[in-house]
């Protein structure tokens, strides 16, 4: 194992426990037990496990049923919807390229997610939204159909909505306005600027910040965090992705949340414990646990 592949060391534990509001334990090395134990050892006592397809969403539900400190979110990722309809031309699917099944297959997959969304261990519908980076014009109809269906699902089941927004800020905000956002809406891995943060604040949307807020080129994210109301801020890993500096490029996991929390506290000019207290309360409120 090269140093770049090695897991980063355990950070100094937080004094006030927080939650990782968005992680993918099924994509990380090691067992769930190991991941949760390492997280708890540094003060990360709750995680939201997020599904990206039907199989992953079922796994999230089973994991949440098994572990008291895991909550599930279920959805078709925005890039999963066009894959189901058209196939897998860009290699999004972890199972390899295969022919698409058309709109009927998407309807069937959405029905599966709908059934899962009604279960008690499921606290959110997501991650859903729009991704203009990976999906081109041919896939946008499927993404939009899927996004609108997930919004309706979240409202009908009384669950939080977790948004994936990549290079699609204006369209995501427009669709939320058109459909009517659920009472609890979370922008996962918030990627907008300060002006968008002010829009989200007016609408009461939660903004969840990941390890990329620590990157050198991420000043617009830090500007957004600076203006985001404390009561609407969450923290996440999106692990195994977006490992915070100085460990960028190495495997991410929930136990690295303290690194991001401390960077966020510096941006907002807050004591670490004050921010952690708010993050814990905000996450519990956002996901109603």
Can you list the positions of beta strands (E) in 51-106? Answer: 70-74
Q: Which domains, and CATH codes, for the chain?
A: 18-287 (3.20.20.140)
Predicted local distance difference test score (pLDDT) of residue 96: 45
Burial profile 194-204: b = 16 or more Cβ within 10 angstroms, e = fewer: eebbeebeeee
- In angstroms, the CA 92 to CA 137 distance is 16
Predicted local distance difference test score (pLDDT) of residue 94: 43
* Degrees, nearest 5: CA angle 102-92-52: 80
The structure tokens listed for 167 are 């290079």
Quickly list DSSP for 225-286.
HHHS-GGGEEE---TTS-PPTTSTTSPP-GGGHHHHHHHHHHHHT--HHHHHHHHHHHHHHH
Predicted local distance difference test score (pLDDT) of residue 160: 98
Predicted local distance difference test score (pLDDT) of residue 100: 65
Predicted local distance difference test score (pLDDT) of residue 2: 65
Predicted local distance difference test score (pLDDT) of residue 95: 44
Predicted local distance difference test score (pLDDT) of residue 57: 98
The one-digit pLDDT tens for each residue of the chain (289 residues) are 566 788 999 999 999 999 999 999 999 999 999 999 999 999 999 999 999 999 999 999 999 999 999 999 999 999 999 999 987 544 444 444 455 667 789 999 999 999 999 999 999 999 999 999 888 788 899 999 999 999 999 999 999 999 999 999 999 999 999 999 999 999 999 999 999 999 999 999 999 999 999 999 999 999 999 999 999 999 999 999 999 999 999 999 999 999 999 999 999 999 999 999 999 999 999 999 9
């Amino acid at each position: 194992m090269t140093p770049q592949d090695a897991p980063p060391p355990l950070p100094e534990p937080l004094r006030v426990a927080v939650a990782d509001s968005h992680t993918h334990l099924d994509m990380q090395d090691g067992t769930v037990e190991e991941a949760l134990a390492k997280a708890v050892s540094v003060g990360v006592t709750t995680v939201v496990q997020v599904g990206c397809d039907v199989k992953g969403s079922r796994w999230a539900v089973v994991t949440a049923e098994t572990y008291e400190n895991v909550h599930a979110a279920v959805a078709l990722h925005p890039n999963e919807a066009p894959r189901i309809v058209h196939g897998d031309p860009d290699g999004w699917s972890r199972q390899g390229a295969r022919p698409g099944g058309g709109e009927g297959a998407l309807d069937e997959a959405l029905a599966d997610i709908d059934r899962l969304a009604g279960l008690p261990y499921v606290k959110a519908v997501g991650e859903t939204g729009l991704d203009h980076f990976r999906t081109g014009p041919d896939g946008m109809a499927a993404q939009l159909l899927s996004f609108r269906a997930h919004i309706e699902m979240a409202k009908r089941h009384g669950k939080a909505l977790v948004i994936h927004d990549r290079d699609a800020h204006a369209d995501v905000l427009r669709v939320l306005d058109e459909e009517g956002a659920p009472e609890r809406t979370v922008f996962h891995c918030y990627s907008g600027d300060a002006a968008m943060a002010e829009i989200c604040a007016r609408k009461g949307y939660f903004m969840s910040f990941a390890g990329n807020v620590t990157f050198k080129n991420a000043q617009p994210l830090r500007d957004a965090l600076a203006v985001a109301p404390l009561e609407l801020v969450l923290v996440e890993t999106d692990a195994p992705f977006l490992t915070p500096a100085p460990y960028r490029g190495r495997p991410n996991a929930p136990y690295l949340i303290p690194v991001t929390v401390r960077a966020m506290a510096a941006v907002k000019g807050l004591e670490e414990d004050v921010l952690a207290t708010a993050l814990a309360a905000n996450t519990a409120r956002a996901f109603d646990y």
